[in-house]
Amino acid sequence: MNLLLDTHVLLWWLDDHPTLSKVARSAIADGGNLVFISAAAIWEIRIKQALGKLEIPPDFRIILDQQPCETLPITADHAHMISELPAYHRDPFDRMLVAQAKVEGLTLVTRDKHLKQYKIPIIEA
């Protein structure tokens, strides 16, 4: 299975936070699954850091590079998919994650119940 981590899931995973469900933790840790971190999630984290809404370690980039995950860039196909999404969710980062999941055939790992409306495969975090 190919997974895409929502931003909060990425942060919970990196922090080994007990909030992350056992099912999600197991799926992410399963070496048979390919796990993607979207450039949109990194962008969201860096914006929140710059605004003082989120503290991350100074070596955050190195920590990400050490994860057994692939970085998923934002492509023109992902951007075009946004226009085909119903307006169930207004957050631009979440909408990009949904678009990427649709275009790339990924299962989104998230706790955001609003994203279920998009009829994409989801593992509840």
CA atoms within 13 A on the CB side of 12: 18
- Domain range summary for the chain, segments of one domain joined by +: 2-124
Give pLDDT, residue 61: 96
Mean pLDDT in residue range 46-74: 97
Give pLDDT, residue 89: 87
Question: For the domain bounded by 2-124, which CATH number is listed?
Answer: 3.40.50.1010
Percent of the chain at pLDDT above 90?
Answer: 99
**Residues 6+ positions from 14 with CB-CB distance below 8 Å:** 63, 64, 67
What average pLDDT does the chain have? 97
Token output for 118:
């998009």
Give pLDDT, residue 93: 97
Task: Please state, in angstroms and as integers, the Cα–Cα distance from residue 1 to each residue in 28, 59, 63, 77, 83, following that order.
Answer: 10, 29, 24, 22, 26
pLDDT, tens only, 28-58: 999 999 999 999 999 999 999 999 999 999 9
Task: Please state, in angstroms and as integers, the Cα–Cα distance from residue 111 to each residue in 50, 57, 62, 122, 125, following that order.
Answer: 24, 24, 26, 9, 5
Q: Could you tell me which residues are beta bridge partners of residue 103?
A: none
Q: Which of 125, 34, 28, 24 is nearest to 72 (CA)?
A: 34
